[in-house]
Amino acid sequence: MNAALLHEPLTRSVEDYLKSIYRLSQKGQPATTNDIAHQLDLSAPSVSGMIKRLSEQGLLEHIPYKGVVLTLEGRHAALRTIRRHRIIEAYLVAFLGYGWETVHEEAERLEHAVSEILIERMAEALGNPRFDPHGDPIPGPDGSVSEVVYTPLSEIPAGEAVEIRQADTSHPDRLRYIASFGLKPGTRVTVVDRQPFRGPITVQVGGQSHILGHEIAMLLLCARPEIAS
Amino acid sequence: MNAALLHEPLTRSVEDYLKSIYRLSQKGQPATTNDIAHQLDLSAPSVSGMIKRLSEQGLLEHIPYKGVVLTLEGRHAALRTIRRHRIIEAYLVAFLGYGWETVHEEAERLEHAVSEILIERMAEALGNPRFDPHGDPIPGPDGSVSEVVYTPLSEIPAGEAVEIRQADTSHPDRLRYIASFGLKPGTRVTVVDRQPFRGPITVQVGGQSHILGHEIAMLLLCARPEIAS
DNA sequence: ACCGTAAGTTAGCTTAACCTAAATTACGGT
DNA sequence: ACCGTAATTTAGGTTAAGCTAACTTACGGT
C-alpha cells in the first residue's frame, strides 16, 4: 500500500511495458504475453518475468495463461507516460521542425527523461492542446482521456468521404510510405473502390487517386461516417 | 579497433563517468578514483569496476593506484555529452522559462536521451551559441572545444561570480599562498570589490571574504559567465 | 627508513532486465 | 473426449551497474 502514494520513479522499461499494455487493453481484451512481447520486440519469457514484477508492485493484475489488466495505479502511470510522449511530439513538430512521421522515435526516448515541470511548460507553449500531431488525444495531467472511436479505412464503404485521424503504427517506414500519398491526420479522402477479401482500396486524395493494400488501409483510422462492414 | 568507428551507443552511466573524468582532467592531473566517486556520488569500488570496463573499451587509460586519463575516443564521447548538456541548458533557458540555476538537473537527464538531430535543431534555434547560460563553452559538433577563454581574476568586474580554473604559476610558495584561501581549480568565487590602478580585489569564497593583491589575482585564471571587462 | 593512514583494488553479493531451452497449460478440431 | 499445437511459464544463465567488507598500495611525517 506504499507504492500508490509515494510513487517511486519507474524505470524506462517499466514505463514502456505499461504503455504497451495500456494500448493493447484498449481493444477490450486483457493484454496477452505474446502481444506485449511482439509490440516491445522482446522474448515472451522476458515479458512473463516483467509481468511478475509489475504485478508484485501492484501495477497490474495477472491471471496466469490468460493475460494482464492494469490496476488504477498502473493505468495512471501509463497515461502519464502517454501524455509526455504526445506533448513532446506536438512540441517537436510545432517548434523544432519535425514531421509527424519522424517524431515518434525521438519522443520515445525523451518521454522517459523529461520532468513534469518541463512537460507542463511545453504544454503551455503549445496552448494546452488536446490532440497530438497524429490525431491521438493527449491525456490530461490528471489522467483523464478523451476517448474517440475511429474506423479503419479498410472498413469504409466505397463512395464514402472521410477524414484521416491517425495512422495506427509506429513503424517509420510504414509512416513514410503512408505520408508519400499525402495521407496524414486531417486529410480528407474519398473511398472510390473497395475490393472484397482483403483486397486493395482505391482512394481519392486531393484530386489524385491511389491504390492501397488492405494491410495499410487497416492502419489508417478515420472519422467518421456510420459504421458499415 | 572497432569501437572507435562504429560507436555503439554508450549507456547513461558511461556518459556520466566520461563527463566527470573529463571535468576532473581539466585541472591538469589525471582523475582519481575517489574524486570520480565523490562527484558521481558512488562508492569507490563501483568506480574501480567501471574504470576497468571503460579501459577495456578503450575509452580511457588506467594506471593502477594513480588515476585515469581519457583516450581521444573517450574525450570525444565526453565532449559530445557536454555539448548536449550545454545546448539543452541554453535552450531551456531561452525558450522554456528555466532559470540558469534550475536548469542543470533537467539537462542532466535529457542529455542522455536526445538525438544528434534534435541537438542540432536546438542549436540552430539558438543561433549556434558558443557559451551556455553558466558561461561555459559549448563544444562543437565535431568535438572541438572552443578554446576556453580563461580570464584572469584581476579582470573580472565586481559583482561577477566565476570559477577558478587554473593558477598560472609554478612557484610553490605562491601556490601555497593561493591554496591557503581555499582557492583551487573548480572553486566558485564572487568578486565583491575591485580597486583600480592594480589595486586589491576582494573576493567571496565559500562564505568568507579575502583580499587579494593584483599580482596574485592576475595568476588566477577563471571561466566567466559573460565576456566583458 | 619505517610505518600508519588514506586511497585504491579485489572478492563476493544484489538487482533489473534481458536471453534460450525446457516444461506446462489451454483450446480447437475431429 | 482427446490430442496436437500454440501460448505461456519455469529454469537457469548473462550483463551492467551498483553495494559492503576485506585486502593492498603509496606516501608523508617523524
Nearest to A78 by CA among A150, A39, A5, A25: A25
> Across all residues in chain A, what is the average pLDDT?
88
> How do residues B22-80 score in pLDDT, each as one tens digit?
999 988 899 999 999 999 999 999 999 999 999 999 999 999 999 999 999 999 999 99
**Do residues B92 and A91 touch, judged by C-beta distance below 8 A?**
no
B5 at A interface, C-beta within 8 A: no
- Verify if strand D has an atom below 7 Å from the CB of B53: yes
To the nearest whole Å, the CA of A78 is away from the closest chain B CA by 19
List strands edge to edge, sheet with B151-152: B151-152, B220-223, B161-167, B188-194, B201-205, B208-212
Helix segments in chain B, DSSP class H: 12-25, 33-40, 44-56, 72-95, 103-110, 116-125, 172-179, 214-219
Which pLDDT band, with edges at 50, 70 and 90, does A6 fall under?
Answer: low
- Say if the Cβ atoms of A125 and B95 lie within 8 Å: yes
Q: How far is the CA of A198 from the C1' of D2 (A)?
A: 36
Examine the pLDDT at B114 and tell me if it is beyond 90. yes
As beta bridge partners, residue A211 has A202
Examine the pLDDT at A109 and tell me if it is beyond 90. yes
Q: How far is the CA of A52 from the C1' of C22 (A)?
A: 20
**Do residues B138 and B86 touch, judged by C-beta distance below 8 A?**
yes
> How do residues A67-81 score in pLDDT, each as one tens digit?
999 999 999 999 999
Examine the pLDDT at A225 and tell me if it is beyond 50. no
* Nearest residue, CB atoms, B96 vs list A106, A112, A125: A125
Question: What pLDDT score does B227 carry?
Answer: 40
Q: How far apart are CA A25 and CA A32, in angstroms?
A: 9
Q: How far is the CA of B173 from the C1' of D29 (A)?
A: 20
> How do residues A110-147 score in pLDDT, each as one tens digit?
999 999 999 999 999 999 998 888 778 899 998 888 76
Strands (E), A66-219: 67-70, 151-152, 161-167, 188-194, 201-205, 208-212
Query: Which chain A residues are within 8 Å of B92, Cβ to Cβ?
Result: 118
* Nearest residue, CB atoms, A114 vs list B97, B110, B121: B110
Query: Which chain A residues are within 8 Å of B114, Cβ to Cβ?
Result: 106, 109-110
B96 at A interface, C-beta within 8 A: yes
Query: Which chain A residues are within 8 Å of B110, Cβ to Cβ?
Result: 110, 113-114
Which pLDDT band, with edges at 50, 70 and 90, does A226 fall under?
Answer: very low
Nearest to A120 by CA among B144, B96, B5, B91: B96
> Across all residues in chain B, what is the average pLDDT?
88
Burial of B155 per CB tally in 10 Å (0-12, 13-18, 19+) = middle
> How do residues A142-167 score in pLDDT, each as one tens digit?
888 876 667 888 888 888 788 887 78
Q: Phi, psi at residue B128, to the nearest 5°?
A: 45, 65
* Nearest residue, CB atoms, B96 vs list A106, A112, A121: A121
Question: What pLDDT score does A147 carry?
Answer: 67
Query: What cell was used for B107?
Result: 539537462
To the nearest whole Å, the CA of A21 is away from the closest chain B CA by 23
- Verify if strand D has an atom below 7 Å from the CB of A62: yes
Question: What pLDDT score does B6 carry?
Answer: 58
* Nearest residue, CB atoms, B122 vs list A96, A110, A121: A96
**Do residues B153 and B191 touch, judged by C-beta distance below 8 A?**
yes
To the nearest whole Å, the CA of B79 is away from the closest chain A CA by 20
Question: What pLDDT score does B3 carry?
Answer: 44
> How do residues B174-207 score in pLDDT, each as one tens digit?
877 887 888 876 678 999 999 988 889 999 998 8
Which residue did the predictor score with more confidence, B9 or A122? Answer: A122
To the nearest whole Å, the CA of B143 is away from the closest chain A CA by 23
Residue A224: cis peptide before it, omega within 30 degrees of 0:
yes
Q: Phi, psi at residue A71, to the nearest 5°?
A: -80, 175
Name the residue of chain B whose CA is nearest to A114's CA: B110
**Do residues A110 and A176 touch, judged by C-beta distance below 8 A?**
no
A107 at B interface, C-beta within 8 A: no
Question: What pLDDT score does A214 carry?
Answer: 87
